[in-house]
Amino acid sequence: MTNTQSLVKTLDFQLNIQSDNEGLLYGACLEARSVYNEAIRLAKQDVDWDDITSRVADDADLVKNTTQCIVAKALNAMESYYEYDDVGQPSHTKDGAFPLRANYEEGYNLSLTGGGTVAFRVSAKPYKHVKGILKGADAHLDILKTALTSHEWKIGTAEALFRNGNAELHVNVTNTEGTVRDKEDSQTVVGVDVNEDNVALTALSEGGVEDTVVLEFPDIKFERHRYFTIRKRVRDAGKLSVHDTLEGREERFVRDRLHKVSRHIVEWCQQFERPCIVFEDLKEMRDGLDYGTQMNRRLHQLPFRALQFYTSYKAAFAGIPTAWINPEYTSQCCPMCGHTERANRHKKRFKCQACSHQDHADRSASVNIAVKGIKKHQEWTVPALNSLPTVRTVRRQASGAVDAPAVTHDTARGYQTDGVAGVSD
């Protein structure tokens, strides 16, 4: 049994621009920044949001539809601004070139050429177009070519932008005929425990634990702390323009790592029969955090929801359903006897005070998440957990020195794996 739902994916391309029109596109991106900032300014002055688009469009040197898209993006940002009660915080206006957002066949067009390449035309200014050829990963080009020739796909908004001095086009495509199996129709449930420096996965079927692994990404935590320190020094020196640049670099670094980790999660899940990925519902987690200034900052920066979102939509494209469970006691409950006590966990070590079961704390939580997923979404019975297999830790080679001896090297993905004892007494 399957559910039909729209699957959205963002495809990234480099722009091979004809003649010397790159300057025209850059100027349009600067104009897009002015439109965005003006919309933010008017919204903060309590101007009726329904009137902002027309007021900004009167002075904007952009195609009207493009102006509307950029204003809509600014107002979406303002909705988050008020939702999270950021009033009084520094301005949310932007510096530098800003992405030029446009709707397909209104602000930009794509077409297949005779040579099998994809040509683009972006309306940078009224009656002024930037043309050229898209360059990018073969996988993204294949999806875009399919979208241009198939009724099952719909091409949506795109953003022309400059990153590291290079012109790019990010295109949203939707597979309207995408199918994802119902989560109740699963033979394997994969519990996913997302943490500050790793994500633990455990696959449970009616026969017991199929496999378990801990994917480590300590570089995200390290880079976040490094950028925080640099931005603090820059802010103290009064160089706010550099502060914004550093913030953008950090965001791109974290997003890149999260995409790679989420891709690895989905690939790992695909080895099992009819899998369903189960996450903890952490929407309200930040509301109750109060562990002091430094720890609160670290916890508020954790990319829980981003990693869950990236994994969820990548899983959807692979036909794998996702589900959510209440996170209560998943880190404190013993998966062997069910005893719950806060003292069970100390850093990465879990030891049950009732049955003396010991385990990797994050793996233990992923087992509990999978068990909750079975109870909530499956008709079959939770298998007996008399023993758990050895935990395999997988970490990115770029993270730095590895204390434990490396057993294998997965050069295709840039990961190395170590064996770590999972159950001992």
State the pLDDT at residue 399: 37
Q: With a cut of 50, list the residues of the chain below it in pLDDT.
A: 83-86, 90, 286, 295-297, 397-425
Q: Report d(CA 9, CA 171) in Å as an integer.
A: 8
Q: Which helix (H) or strand (E) holds 244?
A: helix 240-269
Question: How many other C-beta atoms lie within 10 A of the C-beta of residue 18?
Answer: 14
Q: Report d(CA 391, CA 365) in Å as an integer.
A: 13
Q: Report d(CA 48, CA 50) in Å as an integer.
A: 5
Q: Which DSSP letter does residue 257 get?
A: H
Q: Report d(CA 11, CA 155) in Å as an integer.
A: 11
State the pLDDT at residue 44: 84
Which structure tokens are listed for 304?
Answer: 């829980």
Q: Report d(CA 176, CA 370) in Å as an integer.
A: 30
Length of the chain: 425
Taking each helix axis as running N to C, give the angle between helix 49-57 and helix 22-44, from 0 to 180 degrees, rounded to the nearest 10. Answer: 140
pLDDT digit string, tens, across residues 231-274 = 777 777 776 666 556 666 777 788 888 888 999 999 999 999 99
State the pLDDT at residue 234: 75
- Residue 395's alpha-carbon distances to 35, 197, 419, in angstroms, are 43, 10, 11
Spacing of C-alpha 187 from chain mean position: 27
DSSP helix/strand/coil, 115: coil
Q: Report d(CA 309, CA 31) in Å as an integer.
A: 32
- Residue 54's alpha-carbon distances to 30, 66, 176, 409, in angstroms, are 20, 13, 33, 58
**Mean pLDDT computed over every residue of the chain:** 82
- CB within 8 Å of 158: residues ≥ 6 apart: 101, 102, 104, 107, 108, 169, 170, 171, 172
Q: Report d(CA 207, CA 195) in Å as an integer.
A: 27
Q: How many CA atoms lie within 13 A of 206 on its CB side?
A: 8
DSSP helix/strand/coil, 263: helix
Which structure tokens are listed for 90?
Answer: 């520094």
pTM of the model: 0.63
